[in-house]
């Protein structure tokens, strides 16, 4: 059946990538955030923010990438695989921005399910923006609410990761497996 799929969710700049980096250093199987790669590829093709200029295309590429990650996790022999953002994140963002999307987006949320979901809270002290992250803190808070609602509506129990240093956050996650 593959590895147990553990997804890390949360608004922008909540520490997901930092946790993935530490888990990777500790030799756990991890899969990085897909959206940064999609955004970088679009920029290479002259599109500054694909999410803003063509949100449906951006979201289709994200969904495809996240489904590919999910399927790849099924081929791994490790006990756990940690994934930076999950398939339902796509519809959470689309719903938040009031974008229409085809039924196969919602179908994917039902077809591909995760074993555990950890949510990282918005944390002002670590919040930053960069070349791939355009969201301000107020938007990040609203996205966080959309993510929480989407995952809970799908029946997931969210495990909230405390605001502490990254190694303690990783220890918290590992203790809850």
What pLDDT, in 10s, does the model give residues 114-164?
A: 999 999 998 776 656 554 445 577 888 899 999 999 999 999 999 999 999
What are the residues whose beta carbons fall under 8 Å from the beta carbon of 55, sequence distance 6 or more?
Answer: 94, 97, 99
CATH assignment, 4-175 = 3.40.50.300
Q: Where do the structural domains in the chain lie, given as residue ranges? A: 4-175
pLDDT exceeds 80 at position 106: yes
pLDDT tops 70 at residue 99:
yes
pLDDT per residue as tens digits for the range 37-56: 888 887 888 777 766 677 78
Give the model's pLDDT for residue 131.
Answer: 47
CA atoms within 13 A on the CB side of 19: 30
4-13 burial by CB neighbour count: b if 16+ within 10 A, else e?
Answer: ebbbbbbbbb
Confidence (pTM): 0.89
H/E segment holding residue 31: strand 29-31
């Amino acid at each position: 059946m593959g590895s147990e799929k553990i997804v890390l969710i949360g608004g922008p700049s909540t520490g997901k990538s930092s946790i993935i980096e530490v888990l990777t250093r500790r030799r756990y199987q991890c899969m990085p955030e897909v959206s940064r790669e999609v955004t970088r590829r679009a920029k290479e093709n002259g599109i500054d923010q694909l999410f803003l200029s063509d949100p449906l295309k951006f979201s289709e590429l994200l969904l495809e990438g996240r489904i590919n990650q999910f399927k790849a996790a099924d081929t791994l022999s490790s006990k756990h695989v940690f994934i930076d953002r999950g398939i339902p994140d796509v519809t959470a963002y689309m719903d938040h921005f009031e974008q229409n999307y085809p039924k196969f987006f919602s179908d994917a949320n039902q077809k591909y399910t995760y074993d555990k979901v950890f949510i990282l809270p918005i944390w002002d002290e670590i919040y930053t923006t960069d070349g791939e992250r355009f969201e301000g803190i107020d938007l990040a808070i609203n996205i966080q609410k959309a993510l929480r609602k989407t995952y809970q509506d799908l029946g997931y129990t969210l495990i909230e990761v405390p605001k502490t240093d990254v190694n303690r956050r990783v220890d918290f996650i590992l203790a809850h497996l």
